[in-house]
Chain A
Amino acid sequence: MKRHPLLAGAAVIAAAALALSGCSGGKDEPSAPGPSAGKSASPSASGAAAPSPDRSPIKVTINSIDPKFSPDNDVAQKLAELTGVTLDLQYVVGDLTQKLDLWLAGGDYPDVVVMHPKEVGKYIDAGAVIPLEGLIDQYGPNIKKAFGKYYNLLKAQDGHIYTLPAPYLAEETPADWEAPWAVQYDVLREAGYPQIKTLDQLFDVLKAYYEKHPTIDGKPTIPWSGVGGADHPDWILNNPAFQAAGKPDHSWFLIDDRNNVTLNILSEDQKRYDKFLNKLYLNGMLDKEFFTINYDEAEAKTAQGRTLAGSLPAWFLKYPEQSLREQGKPERQFANIELLFDENTPDHSNTITPINSNNNWQISKNAKDPARIIQYVDFLLTDEGQKLINWGIEGKHYDVVDGKRVVNAAWKAKKTEDPEYEFKSGPTGPFYWFTYGDGAKLSDGDYATPNTKDYWQSTYDDATKELLSKYGKKVFSEFMPPVERVPAWIWQLAEPTEGRAEFKRVQQVYKKESPKIVYSKTDEEFEANWNRYVEEIRKAGSAKVEAAYDRAWKAYIDQYNQTMGQ
């Protein structure tokens, strides 16, 4: 089960991975243009109009990590018609990393290998993926246009481009993003819909509600819970800690103004959050199973409606909230709001990156006609392509009403009824990866994707609408601070090989010692436990981990600054 919270609204930096992958030299020169090159007209140097492309039908093999993708839905067919390219999906049902390693060992990877930027380094080192910059120069004017000033970030340290991430053109918070802290509607209602800004303010509200309602539906009320500490100790402690401090999501790390990297779990923020949990514990308000419950059980518990609040991201709440609505308890759903340790802390927790890098496309040396693949991607990055992969086909998946695109009502009804239908017919497939991103706009000034505030609002139930109206919000994303662009998130850089074993050990100490801190009975005990925890983490080699990531981050930032001409 791979649910990475950090991938929620994912965006990543590919170039980073490449920059740091430690290329071993002796690379092939940019490969000669593919066989189709001769047939294509040469591109006009300035214009974004694609050269009149070869549209003879070809099949391109590609690995798909998502078995839901249907290879021949309406949009895929339309794309085949427009570009001649049909994607032949090879589903990987199981561990993708393992499969990528075996493919690499055996040399039998597909034409297009889709992978996380973390994995790309080994493929580059082995010479399994080909450099693309020559092909892009010739066949990818729209690729260049879409990435704009960030285009050079695609380059690896050796100056070649091996990987195709997606441009991230959003200038506003995507409409469906939600802050990480969840509070039950009923708690907010009973408190008179107060403006809650800090964890301590929330604590008081929870305490009042808990004292009044020690049980809900005959079972004990749980004022504070998490997403399953047994499988995911980082999600219940580490992530909330930096979130409450208003810091951007660099998973285990904090990055200061001078780009120094330190471990979050050793920070004052972590200590402060542990202290907050300790306060909940001492007041009997922390879920008894906070550290021992697993994801599935946590989901079940949350669906019973007796959890009042917690660090519960929206993606975790999906099934529980559905269940609560079906049980006729819409008032037990959760509002995701923004909280901090301290009202006056500046809040930088809502971030996006210049490039969306997660399921990047690489063209392997097994590809017979790389030029056609570049042309395909080039088309996806035109306005026409964006409409097709985000909205679908006009008249079928969307309509234009008063000059604005809206989701077709019949199509919406159909996919609500049958979730599979969306994949069998709609704009879904590996090509979807190249979306400009939610919150981005096309040249016509309208949104690039159907994920708009209007759309979201139209899906809410009455209880949700009422709650939002009390706070004067349209959608939950409006609770979040304004979105900021950061050069990258550190968790998307290639993992430094140095200190990997130490990092694993550090995480284990963290997993083992954290509960003891939270379960301290007195302040002195808390201090003692915290100090021992810090000492053990240091002993496990935290300095080596920090140094390795510090180097990696600084190297990336150097490249970033160079690219951006600073």
Chain B
Amino acid sequence: MYRKLRSQYQLLLMSVPCMVLLILFTYVPLWGWIMAFQDYSLSKGIAGSPFSGFSHFADLFRDDRFYLVLRNTLAMSGLSLATDFVGAIALALLLNEVRVRLFKRTVQTITYIPHFVSWVVMANIVLGSLSPDGGIVNDVLMKLGIIREPILFMSKGSWFWAIHTIAGFWKELGWSTIIYLAVLAGLNHDLYEAAEVDGAGRFQKMWHISIPGLMPTAALLLILATGNLINTGYESQFLLGNGLNIDYSQVLDLYALDYSFSIGDYSYGVAISVFKSAVSILLVVSVNMAARRFGGFKAF
């Protein structure tokens, strides 16, 4: 053991300082989780606040609203995970087939621009396009004679998930593609050469070389992403949401924000955060185990 340690001193030199920093900035602040088991008040601090056991968790699980927002959270993140995952791989494969380099680079650069446009702006564009009062979508549908009366897109609660997914897809597709493009670029070129010599067509190369080449990264990203199914953020849902679709648009992060900020109940907010971490870890560990069992792949 000691000898092994000594022989790996270079590896230790490379990794230990990094790990110390990582643990310091992500794990040390976890003492804040104590708040979830207290009636925390800012003026008393952690040391002075009384303990309340699991009461915040009990409140959380008793709240009907919680199950509704949990459903919305999982549904919306599931939808965006699926579309983003498939979309990004498909776009990477399509871009990979483009041989005019300038065209390829231009499209690549353009598709990732919306990533930098804030949700405030994107939401306004989406809401403007879907408006029943001169929005382009309704105008086009009316001109084509598909509908007679403008559709009130944002009043239909059940449509919210679809609208949100499409908006998110539009915004993040290009950005998600970058990593797959990098992996494709790194694949061994000789394989393609050899396949061509064997008379393999475009789709055969795609199927037998590109896709298997992407698989390890894709599987890894997918596993990591399942851990984030419960972390949707709240900005997009908040900006696109309104009273008529609130039963579909409210997500866990927004619910938590309402409590920990608007209401000032830090303990409740932290309890939600602890719950989220537990779910994330459970998800990512079990998906990883499943992948190892059935696909022979593991992320860790």
Q: How far is the CA of A512 from the CA of B244 in the complex (A)?
A: 6
Q: Is the CB of A504 within 8 A of B258?
A: yes
| A297 in contact with B45 given A288-B150, A505-B65 (CB within 8 Å) | no
CB-CB under 8 A from A98, the residues of chain B are 261
CB-CB under 8 A from B262, the residues of chain A are 504
Binary per-residue interface labels of chain B (241-257) against chain A in the complex, 1 for a CB within 8 Å, 0 otherwise: 11110110000000000
Q: How far is the CA of A513 from the CA of B124 in the complex (A)?
A: 25
Q: How far is the CA of A158 from the CA of B300 in the complex (A)?
A: 59
CB-CB under 8 A from A293, the residues of chain B are 127, 131
User: Shortest beta-carbon distance, B67 to chain A, in Å?
Assistant: 14
A294 at the interface (CB under 8 A from B): yes
Q: Which of A123, A291, A297 contacts B243 (CB 8 A)?
A: A291
Q: How far is the CA of A301 from the CA of B123 in the complex (A)?
A: 16
User: Shortest beta-carbon distance, A296 to chain B, in Å?
Assistant: 6
User: Shortest beta-carbon distance, A289 to chain B, in Å?
Assistant: 6
B212 at the interface (CB under 8 A from A): no
| A296 in contact with B124 given A104-B43, A501-B265 (CB within 8 Å) | yes
Would you list which residues of chain B between 66 and 113 have a CB under 8 Å from chain A? none
A554 at the interface (CB under 8 A from B): no
Q: Is the CB of B152 within 8 A of A511?
A: no
Q: Is the CB of A292 within 8 A of B152?
A: yes
Q: Is the CB of B241 within 8 A of A230?
A: yes
Q: Is the CB of A125 within 8 A of B43?
A: yes
Q: Is the CB of B128 within 8 A of A288?
A: no
CB-CB under 8 A from B258, the residues of chain A are 504
A219 at the interface (CB under 8 A from B): yes
Q: How far is the CA of A123 from the CA of B43 in the complex (A)?
A: 7
Q: How far is the CA of A288 from the CA of B132 in the complex (A)?
A: 7
Would you list which residues of chain A between 74 and 116 have a CB under 8 Å from chain B? 95, 97-98, 101, 104-105
Q: Is the CB of B133 within 8 A of A289?
A: yes
A53 at the interface (CB under 8 A from B): no
Q: How far is the CA of A97 from the CA of B244 in the complex (A)?
A: 29
A8 at the interface (CB under 8 A from B): no
A27 at the interface (CB under 8 A from B): no
User: Shortest beta-carbon distance, B250 to chain A, in Å?
Assistant: 8
Q: Which of A95, A105, A219, A229 contacts B242 (CB 8 A)?
A: A229
Binary per-residue interface labels of chain A (288-310) against chain B in the complex, 1 for a CB within 8 Å, 0 otherwise: 11011110110001000000000
A396 at the interface (CB under 8 A from B): no
Q: Tally of A-B residue pairs with Cβ under 8 A?
A: 90
Q: Which residue of A lies closest to B132 (CB)?
A: A288
Binary per-residue interface labels of chain B (234-245) against chain A in the complex, 1 for a CB within 8 Å, 0 otherwise: 000001011110
Q: How far is the CA of A514 from the CA of B243 in the complex (A)?
A: 8
Q: How far is the CA of A57 from the CA of B91 in the complex (A)?
A: 65
CB-CB under 8 A from B131, the residues of chain A are 289, 293, 297
The size bracket of the interface on A is: 35 or more
Q: Which residue of B lies closest to A24 (CB)?
A: B43
Q: How far is the CA of A37 from the CA of B265 in the complex (A)?
A: 41
CB-CB under 8 A from A505, the residues of chain B are 65
Q: Which of B65, B124, B244, B246 has the most CB of A within 10 A?
A: B244
CB-CB under 8 A from B268, the residues of chain A are 501
Q: How far is the CA of A495 from the CA of B264 in the complex (A)?
A: 10
| A297 in contact with B42 given A97-B261, A500-B265, A505-B65 (CB within 8 Å) | no
Q: Is the CB of A292 within 8 A of B263?
A: no
Would you list which residues of chain B between 153 and 207 have a CB under 8 Å from chain A? 154-155
CB-CB under 8 A from A219, the residues of chain B are 134
CB-CB under 8 A from B265, the residues of chain A are 500-501
B55 at the interface (CB under 8 A from A): no
CB-CB under 8 A from A501, the residues of chain B are 259, 263, 265, 268
A56 at the interface (CB under 8 A from B): no
Q: How far is the CA of A97 from the CA of B65 in the complex (A)?
A: 26
B273 at the interface (CB under 8 A from A): no
Would you list which residues of chain B between 6 and 53 have a CB under 8 Å from chain A? 41-45
Q: Which residue of B lies closest to A118 (CB)?
A: B264
Binary per-residue interface labels of chain B (121-139) against chain A in the complex, 1 for a CB within 8 Å, 0 otherwise: 0011001100111100000
Q: Which residue of A lies closest to B64 (CB)?
A: A505
Q: Is the CB of A288 within 8 A of B42?
A: no
A220 at the interface (CB under 8 A from B): yes
Q: Which of A97, A122, A230, A504 has the most CB of B within 10 A?
A: A230
A450 at the interface (CB under 8 A from B): no
| A289 in contact with B42 given A501-B265, A504-B258 (CB within 8 Å) | no
Q: Which of A95, A101, A288, A297 contacts B124 (CB 8 A)?
A: A297
Q: Which residue of B lies closest to A292 (CB)?
A: B154
CB-CB under 8 A from A296, the residues of chain B are 124
Q: Is the CB of B242 within 8 A of A508?
A: no
CB-CB under 8 A from B124, the residues of chain A are 294, 296-297
Q: Which of B123, B241, B244 contacts A515 (CB 8 A)?
A: B244
Q: How far is the CA of A512 from the CA of B263 in the complex (A)?
A: 20
CB-CB under 8 A from A97, the residues of chain B are 261
Would you list which residues of chain A between 252 and 288 have a CB under 8 Å from chain B? 287-288
A233 at the interface (CB under 8 A from B): yes
Q: How far is the CA of A88 from the CA of B44 in the complex (A)?
A: 29
| A297 in contact with B127 given A104-B42, A288-B132, A501-B265 (CB within 8 Å) | yes
CB-CB under 8 A from B123, the residues of chain A are 294
User: Shortest beta-carbon distance, B10 to chain A, in Å?
Assistant: 39
A126 at the interface (CB under 8 A from B): yes
Q: How far is the CA of A229 from the CA of B243 in the complex (A)?
A: 8
CB-CB under 8 A from A127, the residues of chain B are 43
Given contacts A292-B127, A501-B265, 18 further A-B contacts (CB under 8 A): A104-B42, A127-B43, A220-B133, A229-B242, A229-B243, A230-B241, A230-B243, A233-B243, A287-B133, A289-B133, A289-B152, A291-B243, A293-B131, A297-B128, A301-B133, A504-B259, A508-B65, A512-B247
In the A-B complex, the 4 residue pairs with the smallest Cβ-Cβ separation, listed nearest first, are: A126-B43, A125-B43, A230-B242, A511-B243
Which residues of A line the B interface, CB within 8 A?
24, 95, 97-98, 101, 104-105, 122-123, 125-128, 219-220, 222, 229-230, 233, 287-289, 291-294, 296-297, 301, 495, 497, 500-501, 504-505, 508, 511-512, 514-515
Which residues of B line the A interface, CB within 8 A?
41-45, 65, 123-124, 127-128, 131-134, 150, 152, 154-155, 239, 241-244, 246-247, 258-259, 261-265, 268
> Can you report 16 residue pairs joining A to B where beta carbons are below 8 Å apart?
A24-B43, A105-B42, A123-B43, A126-B42, A127-B43, A128-B43, A222-B133, A229-B242, A288-B150, A288-B152, A289-B132, A289-B133, A296-B124, A501-B265, A501-B268, A512-B243
